Amino acid sequence: MDVPIVDLSNPNEDLVARAVVKASEEWGIFQVVNHGIPPELIRRLKEVGTKFFELPETEKEAVAKPEDSVDVEGYRTKYQKDLEGRNAWVDHLFHRIWPPSRVSYRFWPKLPMDYREVNEDYAKHLKKLSEKIMEWLSEGLGLRREALIEGLGGETVEYLMKINYYPPCPDQDLVIGAPDHTDVNGITFLVANEALGLQAFKDNHWIDVKYTTSGIIVIVGDQFHRMSNGKYMSAKHRATMDKEKTRISWPVFVESSLDHKFAPLRELITGEDNAPKFKPYVYKDFKFRKLKKLPLD
Ligand code: OGA
Ligand code: NI
């Protein structure tokens, strides 16, 4: 059993759209290939991010998350424990890449020199791909193609880049890179370096996600699970660390702005059989409650 792969270059768009919808219903995680983002751009994205993490610690501190910041942007090292008490640790960098009004270049690395150009280019390409997939997913709900984008906030939807840097770890029993979770946002697009480690939980098993060099992993998050009134799965996933290799991944989280209120899409709530399964939430409250492990209904 493998995570579905959808080839977006298939000229039969209906077929492609249906494969994306099916994968989102059954898995909530899938890989897209021949997605239109140039492989060379993806290679460069990984190159500039890797070079940043290889800089001396003092250089990286230039874009550190400020102590008093209530936002996620910036570079930091994080230690955490998973449910079984295993230590998890990872360095990461967060910065928004879209919309331009929400971009703070102070959190974008100055080095390597082409970091900014490559990330801006990636943002433009990824936004196109993301909107295409959101349109297919809206149609898969029997709705207008703009339905999910609008429900997420339309023009105010944000794209948040994260780079996860997992150093090699000889003891696999002790350390896990990212404990199991579902993503809190609408939908996530992830690329990673050659060290495998992403796993998805399906039918009570952890399954290794085998991505190709320029394939993109798509993960449906909590917001789309709720906005689709439960039709789309938010995939439970985690990241393990490699014994010898450094693993780096670049998820981009597509999400509402913090003050946006989201809920099961109104057009879906028709008749008695389709009562809303979830309460509306302002996104920042939803994020906060999830982070604090408070009940969410
Ligand atoms: C995440 C995540 C997985 C990975 O950052 O939300 O799921 O492969 N990362 O690094
Ligand atoms: Ni995740």
Could you tell me whether strands 5-7 and 29-33 are parallel, antiparallel, or unpaired per DSSP bridges?
Answer: parallel
Identify the nearest ligand to the CA of 247 by its number. Answer: 1
Non-local (6+) Cβ contacts of 171 within 8 A are none
What pLDDT sits at residue 7? 98
Which of 181, 236, 277, 284 is an active site residue?
181
Which of 162, 236, 245, 284 is an active site residue?
162
Active site residue 260: no
DSSP run (H or E) holding 289 = helix 283-291
187: exposed, middle or buried (C-beta count within 10 Å: 0-12, 13-18, 19+)? buried
Which of 237, 242, 260, 287 is an active site residue?
237
267 alpha carbon – ligand 1 mean position (Å): 32
271 alpha carbon – ligand 1 mean position (Å): 38
CB 251 within 8 A of CB 238: no
Task: Count CA atoms closer than 13 A to 152's CA, side-chain side.
Answer: 31
Kindly state the tokens that stand for 34. 């021949």
What pLDDT sits at residue 179? 85
For residue 120, the SS3 value is helix
Residue nearest to atom 6 of ligand 1 (CA): 183
Active site residue 7: no
For the chain, the domains span 5-292
272 alpha carbon – ligand 2 mean position (Å): 34
Residue with tokens 């339309």: 154
Identify the nearest ligand to the CA of 222 by its number. Answer: 2
Whether the full predicted model's pTM is greater than 0.75, yes or no, is yes
Q: How much helix, strand and coil, in percent to the nearest 5, is found in the chain?
A: 35, 30, 40
Residue with tokens 């994260």: 162
**In testing the pocket of ligand 1, which one of 29, 94, 191, 198 has its CB within 8 Å of the most ligand atoms?**
198
| Contacts for 141-150: CB closer than 8 Å, 24+ residues apart | 141/228, 141/231, 141/265, 141/268, 143/265, 143/267, 143/268, 144/267, 147/265, 147/267, 148/186, 148/224, 148/227, 148/228, 148/265
**Cα separation of 126 and 45, whole Å?**
12
Identify the nearest ligand to the CA of 90 by its number. Answer: 1
E-strand stretches of the chain: 5-7, 29-33, 74-81, 87-98, 158-166, 176-181, 187-192, 198-202, 205-208, 216-220, 237-240, 247-255, 261-262, 281-282
What pLDDT sits at residue 183? 98
Active site residue 82: no
Residue with tokens 């939430």: 281
195 alpha carbon – ligand 1 mean position (Å): 13
The CATH number given to 5-292 is 2.60.120.330
What pLDDT sits at residue 80? 63
251 alpha carbon – ligand 1 mean position (Å): 7
Q: Which residues line ligand 1 (CB under 6 A)?
A: 162, 164, 178, 183, 192, 198, 237, 239, 249, 251
Q: What is the pLDDT along the chain (297 residues), one digit of tens a residue?
A: 899 999 999 999 999 999 999 999 999 999 999 999 999 999 999 999 999 999 999 999 999 999 999 899 999 987 766 666 666 668 999 999 999 999 999 999 999 999 999 999 999 999 999 999 999 999 999 999 999 999 999 999 999 999 999 988 877 665 677 889 999 999 999 999 999 999 999 999 999 999 899 999 999 999 999 999 999 999 999 998 888 899 999 999 999 999 999 999 999 998 777 899 999 999 999 999 999 999 998
1: exposed, middle or buried (C-beta count within 10 Å: 0-12, 13-18, 19+)? exposed
Cα torsion at 134, 137, 142, 146 (round to 10°)?
Answer: 0
Residue nearest to atom 8 of ligand 1 (CA): 198
> From the alpha carbon of 162, which atom of ligand 1 is closest?
5
